[in-house]
């Protein structure tokens, strides 16, 4: 790969109580089609800025630690400016918070094992005097669960990381649990009634990154949460922008409220609504025409668009028919109907395979389905939070620790997604962290020696623009 002119320079970095020099050379990565950096270690620098060539001949080796995964996360959070923002808001609690974030991302294990992980990891050197015992972790969750501190965080985070002109996605998921908190209430979840808390997530449409979260009592339905969520976002600095919603948020009050607030929206019209039934009866028989066909991935869909009046407002209706889904649903319906009597069978046949989307703004027929299905970003993040980050079961006993725990998950999700974007398609985040975990270090009395990078480890850190030192002072 060619070097871009003469683009080498010396970079100095402080690790512990020592300063080190590195030669940084820029080059063009033909595969990624972007500039990258190659780093060469030069040595220790003394107080006068001179390289030190003499090494201590005899040093006592203390222990060997996992190094690469936590070091990579620590440096990445610095580069993303998240570490600095957390330090400004949470002060002395930040080292413990960053250490716990590294644990949450590196280990698929319960929180009570964090102290065991810390013993064998560079985390206890990078974040000195941090105690991750269960009691100390509970104390940290109470600190970061402080409503005033979280509000201070989001007041600074949202204006910097949101892209209001691209729009937002809002969705909720249920967190079934048995914790004894007042807002843990009975609610409907996956076909059954459970004690639960509702977890609401706001996602940036442009970046697919989480922006904000709320938690609600388990018996509060989605439709009742939209107004307050939009008001909170406004107070925290998120401007008016397009919002994409699931059918659970659809109501007359919400539609009117969004119109009055001049907020554009796209949502699905629930099938039990009179407007849905009228559109099916009027439009379904003319839907399957070739001039209504659009491509969606490897599928062909019929999409017909109409201007209709809904709650006294002129609105755009997008009637979408999936022929494959219609075939499956029609087969099941007819077999069931043969076993009994269905007075509405003709209407029910007409609506098979159809969903109706409504928007306050015009959308091209080819774009309406991909735009709505951006909503699946939220479902993906909920799945990752529950499965990989162990969002459930909840093991907290106060509202403040619950708020702190959900905030920790929010931060972990944010770091994970940013890391995935920067790494690209060559490695998954889990794979990259496992590869980096195999990079060990040896800890001596006053110095840490980092072992040699493998080819894959070097590729990962170069992609992220992270310098891995050969030595670190303690």
**pLDDT at residue 217 in the model:** 87
Asked whether the predicted pLDDT for residue 340 surpasses 90, the reply is no
Which whole number is the average pLDDT over 227-231? 93
Annotate 21-64 with DSSP letters as a single string.
EEEEEEEEETTTTEEEEEEEEEEEE-TTSPEE----S---EEEE
Q: What average pLDDT is seen over the chain?
A: 86
**pLDDT at residue 187 in the model:** 64
User: In whole angstroms, what is the distance from residue 441 CA to residue 63 CA?
Assistant: 8
Q: Which two tokens stand for residue 383?
A: 């799945």
Asked whether the predicted pLDDT for residue 92 surpasses 50, the reply is yes
Q: Which two tokens stand for residue 149?
A: 């501190």
Residue 259, Cα to own-chain centre: how many angstroms? Answer: 29
**Residue that wins the pLDDT comparison between 412 and 219:** 412
Q: Which two tokens stand for residue 446?
A: 């006053």
**pLDDT at residue 459 in the model:** 96
Q: Is the four-CA dihedral 294, 300, 306, 309 of positive or negative sign?
A: negative
Question: Which domains does the chain show, CATH number per domain?
Answer: 3-64+438-473 (no CATH), 66-140 (no CATH), 145-264+367-395 (3.30.420), 265-359 (no CATH)
What SS3 class is residue 352?
Answer: coil
User: In whole angstroms, what is the distance from residue 296 CA to residue 432 CA?
Assistant: 32
Range in 52-61, 169-178, 357-366, 399-408 with the lowest mean pLDDT: 52-61
- Cβ contact 226:252 at 8 Å: no
Pairing state of beta strands 243-245 and 265-268? parallel
Range in 87-96, 174-183, 365-374 with the lowest mean pLDDT: 174-183
User: In whole angstroms, what is the distance from residue 318 CA to residue 325 CA?
Assistant: 17
Q: Of how many residues is the chain composed? A: 474
Q: Which two tokens stand for residue 158?
A: 């949202």
Asked whether the predicted pLDDT for residue 229 surpasses 90, the reply is yes
Asked whether the predicted pLDDT for residue 11 surpasses 90, the reply is no
User: In whole angstroms, what is the distance from residue 381 CA to residue 239 CA?
Assistant: 23
pTM: 0.79
Asked whether the predicted pLDDT for residue 164 surpasses 70, the reply is no
Which whole number is the average pLDDT over 181-207? 75
Range in 95-104, 110-119, 458-467 with the lowest mean pLDDT: 110-119
Nearest to 410 by CA among 199, 133, 159, 176: 199
Q: What's the burial of 359, exposed, middle or buried (CB within 10 Å: 0-12/13-18/19+)? A: buried
Residues 6+ apart with CB under 8 A from 157: 85, 211
Asked whether the predicted pLDDT for residue 422 surpasses 90, the reply is yes
């Amino acid at each position: 790969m060619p070097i871009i002119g003469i683009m080498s320079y010396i970079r100095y970095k402080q690790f512990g109580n020592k300063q080190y020099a590195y030669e940084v050379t820029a080059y063009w990565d033909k595969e990624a089609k972007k500039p990258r950096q190659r780093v060469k270690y030069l040595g220790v620098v003394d107080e006068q800025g001179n390289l030190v060539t003499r090494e201590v001949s005899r040093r006592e080796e203390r222990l060997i630690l996992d190094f690469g995964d936590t070091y990579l996360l620590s440096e990445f959070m610095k580069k993303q400016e998240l570490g600095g923002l957390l330090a400004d808001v949470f002060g002395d609690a930040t080292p413990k918070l960053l250490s716990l974030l590294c644990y949450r991302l590196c280990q698929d294990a319960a929180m009570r094992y964090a102290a065991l992980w810390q013993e064998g990891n560079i985390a206890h050197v990078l974040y000195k005097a941090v105690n991750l015992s269960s009691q100390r972790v509970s104390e940290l969750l109470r600190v970061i669960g402080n409503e005033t501190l979280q509000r201070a965080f989001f007041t600074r985070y949202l204006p910097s990381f949101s892209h209001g002109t691209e729009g937002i996605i809002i969705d909720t998921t249920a967190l079934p649990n048995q914790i004894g908190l007042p807002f843990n209430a009975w609610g409907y979840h996956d076909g059954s009634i459970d004690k639960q808390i509702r977890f609401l997530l706001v996602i940036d449409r442009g970046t697919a990154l989480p922006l904000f979260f709320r938690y609600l009592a388990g018996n509060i339905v989605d439709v009742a949460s939209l107004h307050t969520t939009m008001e909170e976002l406004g107070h925290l600095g998120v401007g008016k922008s397009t919002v994409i919603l699931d059918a659970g948020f659809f109501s007359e009050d919400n539609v009117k409220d969004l119109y009055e607030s001049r907020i554009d929206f796209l949502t699905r019209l629930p099938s039990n609504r009179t407007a849905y039934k009228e559109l099916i009866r009027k439009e379904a028989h003319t839907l399957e025409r070739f001039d209504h066909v659009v491509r969606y991935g490897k599928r062909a869909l019929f999409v017909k668009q109409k201007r209709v009046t809904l709650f006294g407002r002129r609105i755009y209706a997008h009637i979408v028919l999936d022929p494959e889904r219609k075939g499956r649903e029609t087969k099941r319906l007819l077999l069931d109907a043969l076993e009994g009597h269905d007075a509405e069978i003709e209407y029910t046949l007409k609506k098979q395979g159809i969903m109706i989307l409504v928007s306050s703004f015009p959308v091209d027929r080819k774009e309406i389905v991909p735009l709505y299905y951006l909503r699946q970003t939220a479902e993906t993040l909920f799945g990752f939070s529950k499965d990989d980050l162990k969002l459930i079961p909840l093991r907290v006993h106060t509202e403040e620790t619950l708020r702190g725990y959900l905030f920790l998950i929010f931060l972990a999700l944010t770091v994970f997604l940013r890391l995935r974007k920067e790494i690209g398609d060559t490695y998954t985040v889990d794979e990259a962290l496992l590869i980096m975990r195999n990079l060990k270090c040896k800890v001596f009395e006053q110095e840490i020696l980092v072992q040699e990078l493998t080819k894959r480890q070097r590729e990962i850190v170069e992609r992220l623009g992270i310098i891995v030192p050969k030595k670190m002072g303690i």
